[in-house]
């Protein structure tokens, strides 16, 4: 980021919605970062925000140990918006009182009809009544001097209050949550009308800023990147390549567990880029290591470890490098306001962690401040093909965890063909809300009849889920006619499958993947 660019600071008090606030602000076109509430005042000043947002959080401001804020934040001369706990904290810090909600009216949770004073600066662009999302055990009983009430609900007399002269605003509800009907408009009013943001943050501008920053850091140093063919490592590779060209080496370890044609696609794209592209064909090595292994966690471990070993061997040939590039993205690095890591990267979701034997000085993470949708957008700006940037999530261990039981080359080939038919049919039919879809080769064999003969072949399971965060998911309502067509095609076109089933389990209790 350049120092003169407009930035919003979100101070996090432990809200489960901290990332959501940041995403909304970015969607409005303004760069922002989420920082723990414990940031020192000096760091806040140095960040030089055009506005500060105080997030929600699970604590009670009247508890001695609850997270507080340096009062000088209110002397920075920039607009401040408090949300939920942030609103209570603003009231508490500036001389108001906060009490348990029960003692005042009632606790509120969920969708709540709220009335707004549309003469206020904050609510000037919305209608006087709409639904907000409330989730609070405490309420403001008395607002500080100089403040006006600007919204209320049945259970909350101060659902909104402001000191317009000082540009301090507070809302008890969560404008960042989609259930708050006018939430985005309220945030936009705060940022654009009140904080006078230009709101021109976009991946078009970001691309050049990022390239300049990488050049300034790497200079004529050498960088090494492990390319998996997934969205993040591909976008990181394309960005680094535009910044430092042939000083970048990308090692693509083909473990033979990718989907149909994916290995060749990765090679085709990146061998035409200005960079050193190395493809290691390690299919046989991985098959060998996995031979006879049917326990899911063991498969994952073997693949993770082997991946690192192969990458290290290749890196050794290159010799000392200055930088190791990682495709880490923002949700992985946001620290929670309450100290621990809000987004602990699920260990099994990493292919192997960091290599021990690669000789490098520093790690460089060019996507560190981007959300996934921004990474995809940046990929488009960098000219990567759409099928690559809009790729659905694909587990690092690949098809190995979509073959139940032991893995053989034949099973991989069967699964690749069936999976390809399923995916292309879903895409051709543009099935609504299909977030992730794939085939699973089970180890169940059953009797069937084909032509005049009896068959005894594998059962294939189809999995298609609708989800926004992959933490919870429902099965996608694929029309029966389409399921029928897919099943018919698979049984007829792919040998060794004589039965197709559709997985109709939600997550929880099931997971998205079968292993
Ligand atoms: P589960 O199966 O845990 O999957 O419900 C949630 C999301 O995570 C992906 N997933 C993985 N991604 N390495 C990865 O990189 C893995 O080992 C792994 N396991 C699951 C899964 O595809 C889904 O999107």
- Please say which residue of 177, 194, 211 terminates a domain: 194
Q: Whose CA is nearest to atom 9 of ligand 1?
A: 395
Residue 282 lies in a domain: yes
Per residue of the chain (515 residues), give pLDDT as tens.
554 589 999 999 998 888 899 999 999 999 999 999 999 999 999 999 999 999 999 999 999 999 999 999 999 999 999 999 999 999 999 999 999 988 777 778 899 999 999 999 999 999 999 999 999 889 999 999 999 999 999 989 999 999 999 999 999 999 999 899 999 999 999 999 999 999 999 999 899 999 999 999 999 999 999 999 999 999 999 999 999 999 999 999 999 999 999 999 999 999 999 999 999 999 999 999 999 999 999 999 999 999 999 999 998 898 889 999 999 999 888 765 555 433 333 333 444 456 676 778 899 999 999 999 999 999 999 999 999 999 999 999 999 999 999 999 999 999 999 999 999 999 999 999 999 999 999 999 999 998 889 999 999 999 999 998 888 899 999 999 999 999 999 999 999 999 999 999 999 999 999 99
- Respond yes or no: is residue 92 known to be catalytic: no
- Respond yes or no: is residue 174 known to be catalytic: yes
Write out the E strands in 107-181.
108-116, 129-136, 138-142, 148-153, 156-163, 168-171
Residue 401 lies in a domain: no
Order across the sheet with 7-12: list the strands. Answer: 31-36, 7-12, 51-54, 80-83, 168-171, 156-163, 148-153, 108-116, 129-136
385 and 311 within one domain? yes
Token duo for residue 214: 């990488």
> Residue 260: which domain range?
203-389
pTM: 0.86
Q: If you measure from the C-alpha of residue 287 to the centroid of ligand 1, how many angstroms do you get, rounded to a whole number?
A: 21
- Please say which residue of 194, 223, 243 terminates a domain: 194
pLDDT tens sequence across 256-275: 999 999 999 999 999 999 99
Taking the C-alpha atoms of residue 102 and residue 506, their distance in angstroms, rounded to an integer, is 36
Q: If you measure from the C-alpha of residue 349 to the centroid of ligand 1, how many angstroms do you get, rounded to a whole number?
A: 6
359 and 211 within one domain? yes
Per the residue annotation, which of 176, 181, 417, 457 is the catalytic one? 176
CATH at residue 99: 3.40.50.880
Is 436 close to ligand 1, i.e. is its CB under 6 Å away? yes
Q: If you measure from the C-alpha of residue 509 to the centroid of ligand 1, how many angstroms do you get, rounded to a whole number?
A: 15
| Number of folded domains that form the chain | 3
- Please say which residue of 328, 355, 389 terminates a domain: 389
92 and 66 within one domain? yes
Is 372 close to ligand 1, i.e. is its CB under 6 Å away? no
Q: If you measure from the C-alpha of residue 470 to the centroid of ligand 1, how many angstroms do you get, rounded to a whole number?
A: 8
Per the residue annotation, which of 6, 32, 84, 250 is the catalytic one? 84
**Torsion of the alpha carbons at 28, 34, 39 and 43, rounded to the nearest 10:** -50
Token duo for residue 21: 């606030």
338 and 358 within one domain? yes
* 169 contacts 81 by C-beta, under 8 angstroms: yes
pLDDT tens sequence across 189-216: 999 999 999 999 999 989 999 999 999 9
């Amino acid at each position: 980021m350049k120092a003169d660019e407009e930035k919003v600071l979100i101070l996090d008090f432990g809200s489960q919605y901290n990332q959501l606030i940041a995403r909304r602000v970015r969607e409005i076109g303004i760069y922002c970062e989420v920082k723990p509430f414990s940031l020192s005042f000096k760091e806040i000043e140095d960040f030089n925000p055009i506005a500060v947002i105080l997030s929600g959080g699970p604590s009670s401001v009247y508890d001695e140990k609850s997270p507080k804020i340096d009062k000088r934040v209110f002397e920075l001369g920039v607009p401040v918006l408090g949300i939920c706990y942030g609103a209570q904290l603003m009231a508490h810090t500036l001389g108001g009182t906060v009490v348990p909600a029960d003692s005042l009216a009632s606790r509120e949770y969920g969708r709540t009809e709220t009335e707004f004073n549309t003469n206020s600066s904050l609510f000037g662009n919305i209608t006087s009544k709409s639904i907000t999302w409330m989730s609070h055990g405490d309420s403001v009983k008395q607002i500080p001097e100089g403040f006006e009430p600007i919204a209320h609900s049945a259970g909350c007399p101060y659902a909104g209050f402001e000191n317009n002269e000082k540009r301090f605003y507070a809302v008890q509800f969560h404008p960042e949550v989609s259930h708050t009907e006018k939430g985005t408009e309220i945030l936009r009013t705060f940022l654009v009308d009140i904080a006078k943001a230009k709101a021109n943050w976009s991946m078009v501008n970001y691309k050049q800023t990022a390239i300049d920053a990488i050049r300034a850091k790497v200079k004529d140093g050498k960088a090494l990147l492990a390319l998996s063919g997934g969205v993040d490592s591909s976008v990181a590779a394309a960005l680094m390549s535009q910044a430092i060209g042939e000083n970048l080496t990308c090692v693509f370890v083909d473990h033979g567990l990718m989907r149909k044609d994916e290995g060749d696609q990765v090679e085709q794209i990146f061998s035409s880029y200005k960079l050193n592209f190395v493809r290691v064909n390690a299919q046989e090595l991985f098959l060998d290591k996995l031979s006879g292994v049917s326990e899911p966690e063991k498969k994952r471990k073997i693949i993770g470890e082997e991946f690192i070993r192969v990458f290290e061997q290749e890196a050794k040939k290159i010799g000392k490098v200055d930088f190791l590039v990682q495709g880490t993205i923002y949700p992985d690095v946001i620290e929670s306001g309450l100290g621990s890591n809000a987004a602990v990267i699920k260990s099994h979701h990493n292919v192997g962690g960091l290599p021990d034997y690669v000789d490098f000085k520093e790690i460089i993470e060019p996507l560190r401040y981007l959300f996934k949708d921004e990474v995809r957008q940046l990929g488009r700006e960098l000219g990567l093909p759409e099928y690559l940037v809009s790729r659905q999530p694909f587990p690092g261990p690949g098809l190995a965890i979509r073959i139940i039981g032991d893995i053989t080359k034949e099973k991989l080939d069967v699964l690749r063909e069936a999976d390809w038919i399923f995916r292309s049919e879903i895409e051709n039919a543009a099935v609504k809300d299909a977030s992730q879809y794939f085939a699973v080769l089970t180890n169940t064999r059953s009797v069937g009849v084909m032509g005049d003969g009896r068959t005894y072949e594998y059962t294939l399971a189809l999995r298609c889920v609708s989800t926004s965060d992959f933490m919870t998911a429902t099965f996608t309502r694929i029309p029966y006619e389409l399921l029928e067509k897919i099943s018919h095609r698979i049984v007829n076109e792919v040998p060794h499958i004589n039965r197709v089933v559709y997985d109709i389990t939600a997550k929880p209790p099931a997971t998205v993947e079968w292993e």
